[in-house]
Chain A
Amino acid sequence: MLAVLSVEARKLNRSLAALLAVAAPSLIAVFGFFMLLRSTRAQPWDMWMTNAAGVWAFFMMPMSVTALTALVAHMEHGPKSWDHLRALPLPRWKLYAAKAICVLALLALMSAAVLAFSWAAVSLAGSIKPAVAATGPFDLAQYARVMAMMFGAGLLMVAIQLWIALRYASFVPGLVVGIGGTFFAVVATAAKQGVFLPWQMPVNMLATEAWRVNTALGLGGGLGLVALILMTVHLARREVL
């Protein structure tokens, strides 16, 4: 399995998926940088980091997962390399499990990058305009915990998007589901039922009601793991014609 994982990681060299993994967190940091420069009074670190986490979970994470899964799957669909890979003397489930682990690892790195880049952007903007520099403590453990919970709650969304992206060679089904899911997550933010929508589960980690956090985390994480296992079994057994 380590060999398959190492191959998946090396395929990312100079790839669009790797570029996206850097670009998406950077955009949030750039947004935070200009927000701070435009502000007229100093705000605590908590506000800036919660803001970054909110943008990530509410919009950037669902869109990034949509694009990331499509790009990672397209690395095989594009050059039609499934036949080559599936003809190798390897259990096929390993190919799909490695893809899933690769996407999850990239998403974890992106989550960490949101924290790191946002800290850097807010610090830089604060040094340019000291009057509005972030105040109070920088509680890294708390911010990391929230990002980790968002990652866990996003597992079901990742599983759905990756399953579609690997199943269909065309970008279209994955993009339609991802954009549609994000759209409904945004417009149904206030709705109680929204917590059951996979694309809205990560942002529920910022909710003040405990039931929302627990429901989204439990369903997103638990069903996400089950869906990833089902995806691996289904794709490994399926004939690619």
Chain B
Amino acid sequence: MNAAIETHALTRRFKRHLAVDAVSMTVPDKAVYGFLGRNGAGKTTTLKMLLGLIAPTSGAARVAGVDVARDRLAAARRVGALLEAHGFYVNLSGRENLDLTRTLLGLPKTEIDRVLDVVEMREHAGKPVSDFSLGMRQRLGLARAMLGAPPVLILDEPTNGLDPDGIADMRRFLRALPERTGATVLLSSHLLGEIEQTATHVGILSEGRLVLEGELERLKAELAPEIAFQTDDLPRAAALAKARGFDLTLGEGGAVARLKPGEDARSASAALNRALVEADLAVFAIGPRARSLEGIYRDVSSPASNLQPETV
């Protein structure tokens, strides 16, 4: 597997505050990598180090094979970024704003229409940016990040502040990005749903530490899956499941038993089913199911969690 972005023990300390703590992450080529964490978890600091905007206290980062600290300019040539602050000049039109960056990058004028087409903004680009909605500014920012077709796109909270329509639009663009541009996308967010709907891979950052990383579908399927079941006497079934060592959550009309990491979901499900039936309970439904990203996130990002970085 080729890595588009790799960090090794990347650390950044601000005086006494350790913002990023020995983060070693790997973003595979052509992936949409969801970089998830609460506000203040260290996501933006990590992205700034990847962009060479701030220097790491220790550790290293490579973007598209280039060490950022050793050759920032070469690394920057391979990255396009959409940062939280758009940085548009509101006295200029969308097209004029793109043209400024195009000039600085030394690209041909045709690049502007190409990227405007990708974000479906060509007909609005002549308007002053001051007349743009937040969603249009985000799309323009995405277009600017794609100038020069960099192999890596770094997008910091691209749906922040958008209304539901804008969020849906942006998600559609993000999902289509690898196919339309061939780029690897590193997408930071504190919104679980956003990552779940757009990312192929996920890395979870908690208090500056990368606590989990891997392919999203495999994580959901393999990392401590759950058994959902319904019976005619849920409290008794729950007591039975608890007695067998399951971590249980009761919901309306059913219960969810969480397995331990590495435990085989199908055989555990069969064993639980057998126990329920032997206890004379009528089982309406039972079976393993992949866990939601929210469940995984809650487990690993809890401040009390002692989980070490884990790759699936």
Question: Could you tell me if A14 and B87 are in contact, using CB atoms closer than 8 angstroms?
Answer: no
> Per-residue 0/1 for B94-113: is the Cβ within 8 Å of any A Cβ (1 yes, 0 no)?
00100111011110000000
Which A residues lie within 8 Å of B83 (CB)? 83-84, 87
Contact B73 A239 (CB under 8 A): no
Are the CB atoms of A80 and B87 closer together than 8 Å? Answer: yes
**At the interface, yes or no: A140 with Cβ under 8 Å from chain B?**
no
The reply to whether A3 and B90 contact each other, CB–CB distance below 8 Å, is no
Residues of A within 8 A of B14 (CB): 241
Contacts A79-B85, A88-B105 given; does A239 touch B55 at CB 8 Å: yes
Asked if B168 is an interface residue, CB under 8 A from chain A, the answer is: no
- Given A13-B92, A79-B90, check contact A88 B53 (CB 8 Å): no
A85 within 8 A of B: yes
Judge whether B76 and A89 touch: CB under 8 Å.
yes
Q: Mark A66-103, 1 if CB is under 8 A from B, else 0.
A: 00000000011001111111111111000000000000
Q: Is A189 an interface residue, CB under 8 A from the partner?
A: no
B149, CB-defined interface residue at 8 Å? no
Any B CB within 8 A of the CB of A23: no
CB <8 Å contact, A15 and B91: yes
- A residues 106-152 near B (Cβ < 8 Å) are none
Is A186 positioned at the interface, with any CB of B under 8 Å from its CB? no
User: Which residues on the B side are within 8 Å of A81 (C-beta)?
Assistant: 85-89
Q: Enumerate chain B interface residues (CB-CB to A < 8 A).
A: 14, 48, 51-55, 73-74, 76-77, 79, 81, 83, 85-92, 96, 99-101, 103-106, 144
Min C-beta distance of A8 to chain B, whole Å: 9
Residues on the B chain within 8 Å of A15, using CB: 89, 91
Q: Would you give the shortest CB distance from A135 to chain B, in whole angstroms?
A: 44
A90–B86 CA distance with the chains assembled, in angstroms: 19
In the bound complex, residues from chain A placing their C-beta under 8 Å from that of B90 are 79
Q: How far is B48's CA from A240's CA once the two chains are assembled, in angstroms?
A: 10
With A80-B87, A86-B53, A240-B53: A3-B103 Cβ-Cβ less than 8 Å:
yes
In the complex the two chains form, is A10's CB within 8 Å of B96's CB?
Answer: yes
B106 touches A11 (CB 8 A): no
| Chain B, residue nearest A17 (CB) | B91
8 Å CB interface, A1-38 against B: 3-4, 6-7, 10-11, 13-15
Considering only CB atoms and an 8 Å cut-off, how many residues of chain A contact the other chain?
27
The one of B86, B92, B101 in contact with A14, judged by C-beta atoms closer than 8 angstroms, is B92
**Do the beta carbons of A241 and B92 come within 8 Å of each other?**
no
A3-B106, A4-B104, A10-B100 given as contacts; is B76 within 8 A of A87 (CB)? yes
CA distance A7 to B106 in the complex (A): 12
Q: A83-B53, A83-B87, A84-B87 are in contact. Are A89 and B73 (CB under 8 A)?
A: yes
How far, in whole Å, are A190 and B74 apart by their CA atoms in the complex? 56
Q: Is the CB of A89 within 8 A of B77?
A: yes
Known: A86-B53, A87-B53, A239-B54. A75 touches B104 (CB 8 A): no
Kindly state the separation between the CA atoms of A14 and B130 in the bound complex, as whole angstroms.
12
Are A75 and B53 in contact, with the CB atoms below 8 A?
no
For B106, the chain A residues whose CB sits under 8 A away are: 3
Contact B88 A7 (CB under 8 A): no
Least Cβ–Cβ distance between B103 and chain A, in angstroms:
5
Check B91 against A87 for contact (C-beta < 8 Å).
Answer: no
Please give, as numbers and ranges, the residues of chain A lying within 8 Å of B76 by CB-CB distance.
87-89
Q: Which residue of B lies closest to A239 (CB)?
A: B54
Q: Nearest Cβ distance between residue A212 and chain B, in whole angstroms?
A: 41
In the bound complex, residues from chain B placing their C-beta under 8 Å from that of A84 are: 81, 83, 85-87, 101, 144
CA distance A7 to B105 in the complex (A): 11
Task: Give the 6 A-B CB pairs with smallest separation, nearest first.
Answer: A81-B87, A80-B85, A89-B76, A84-B87, A89-B77, A87-B51
A240 to B51, CA, bound (A): 13
| A3 and B104 in contact, given A84-B83, A239-B54 (Cβ under 8 angstroms) | yes
> Whole-angstrom distance between the alpha carbons of A80 and B137 in the complex?
14
Contacts of A80 in B (CB 8 A): 85-87
Known: A80-B87, A81-B85; 10 extra A-B contacts, CB below 8 A, are A11-B89, A14-B91, A14-B92, A83-B51, A84-B86, A84-B101, A87-B52, A87-B53, A87-B79, A88-B101
- Closest residue to B91 on the A side, CB-wise? A14
How far is it, in angstroms, between the C-alpha of A32 and the C-alpha of B85 when the chains are bound? 45
Residues of chain A within 8 A (CB-CB) of B89 are 11, 15, 75, 79, 81
Identify the closest chain A residue to B87 (Cβ).
A81
A84 to B140 CA separation, bound complex (whole angstroms): 13
How far in angstroms is the closest Cβ of chain A from B286? 52
A79-B90, A85-B87, A87-B51 known; A11 vs B100 contact (CB < 8 Å): yes
Q: Give every chain B residue within 8 A of A87 (Cβ-Cβ).
A: 51-53, 76, 79, 81, 83
CB atoms of A79 and B73 under 8 A apart: no
CA distance A91 to B72 in the complex (A): 9
